[in-house]
Amino acid sequence: MAMLLKGAEVAKALTEGLHAKTEELKKNGVEPCLAILRVGAREDDLAYERGALKRCEKVGVAVRQVVLPEDVTQEVLMENIHALGVDEKVHGVLMFRPLPGHLDDEAARAALDPKKDMDGITDGSMTAVYAGTKGGYPPCTAAACVALLKHYNIPIKGKRVVVIGRSLVIGKPVSLLLLAEHATVTICHSRSENLPEICREADILVVAAGKAGMVGAESVRAGQVVLDVGIHVGADGNLCGDTRFAEVEPVVEAITPVPGGVGTVTSTILASHVVEAAERAASK
Ligand code: NAP
């Protein structure tokens, strides 16, 4: 039986450390504050927002919710992004995407200050992840994968990592973050040939394909650590991941459950980015 890498344990441990930091900041007159900018009311966004509100409260981060109507104009959206950018009381901004189709996503992202971009959506944040500099923050889910491995003391340095997925949200940033931790990283995608064979070579397999149950027993071997990033509502109405858990779990050494794995850590990483942004602002 594989060891279950439970996100709640990681979130709890991180929250304790973060809470101490927010207390310290507050003693010095700084209240870490996250602004959540949401257009419309997509169910995905609402679910993420609920998780973020709960976690920020536990950590001691204030949250300002800015909700714009589904048919908001580009002009009003940009005004709101600029207002949050210049507001010194706001240390970080989470802007939900995709935006409704009539809005210019590139312009909206470009208007956000990378120093306040908590989920790695600006070009500046992506450059920081690529270059390994401190100019921005990585996407929270990608950073959550690394936090999980570190919490469970799973060695990364020198290990063979295979990532399935090359999106800007997960696949690419998690690959770069693990490369920065000195892993040897292979990135796979929908045109990769011999995918199961490549997966079996991994010490750590990160599955972020967005395809329910695509990874099964054929792609794993004993001794591996599997991080399942996928989230889907299965045919039975229950949440499931990108792996066929019942097939993979008996074979590998450790695996994240879905739900209760990577996704559970994501909002804590968001809160940690806000605390870091507040600390940086306070140290100026
Ligand atoms: P995405 O933008 O759809 O990207 C999926 C990636 O997987 C693409 O690079 C695609 O390759 C690759 N892929 C798709 N089918 C494949 C196949 N059969 N074989 C190999 N590669 C394949 O998805 P995403 O935004 O990265 O999200 C991935 C998953 O994570 C989704 O299930 C999403 O719901 C979940 N998610 C979880 C969290 C969390 O907190 N846990 C947060 C965000 C997202 P190509 O580039 O060739 O198309």
Which has the closest alpha carbon to 60: 32, 92, 91, 89?
A: 32
Segment 164-193 shows an average pLDDT of 98
| Contact call for residues 192 and 214 (beta carbons, < 8 A) | no
**What token pair was written down for 244?**
């066929």
pLDDT of residue 70: 98
The residue to mutate among 164, 187, 188, having the most atoms of ligand 1 within 8 angstroms of its beta carbon, is 164
For 140-263, CATH gives 3.40.50.720
Residues with CB under 6 A from ligand 1: 141, 164-167, 169-171, 188-192, 195, 208-211, 214, 229-231, 262-263, 266
Give the mean model confidence (pLDDT) for residues 30-43. Answer: 97
pLDDT for residue 187: 98
Q: What is the pLDDT of residue 284?
A: 80
Residue ID of nearest Cα to ligand 1 atom 40 = 263
Cα maximum dimension of the chain: 56
Q: How confident is the model at residue 277 (pLDDT cuts 50, 70, 90)?
A: very high
pTM of the shown model:
0.97
What are the pLDDT digits (tens) for 91-119?
Answer: 999 999 999 999 999 999 999 999 999 99
d(CA 167, CA 283): 34
Domain covering 29-121 in this structure, CATH number:
3.40.50.10860
208 CA to centre of ligand 1 in angstroms: 5
Q: Which residues contact 191 (CB under 8 A, 6 or more apart)?
A: none
| Whole-number average pLDDT of the chain | 97
41-77: pLDDT as tens digits: 999 999 999 999 999 999 999 999 999 999 999 999 9
Domains of the chain: which residue ranges?
Answer: 29-121, 140-263
DSSP 8-state symbol, 230: -
CA 205–ligand 1 middle distance (angstroms): 14
Same fold, 29-121 and 140-263: yes
Closest by Cα among 189, 259, 265 to 231? 259
Q: From the centroid of its chain, how far is CA 136?
A: 14
134 pLDDT higher than 90: no
Helical pair 140-151 and 262-282, crossing angle rounded to 10 deg: 100
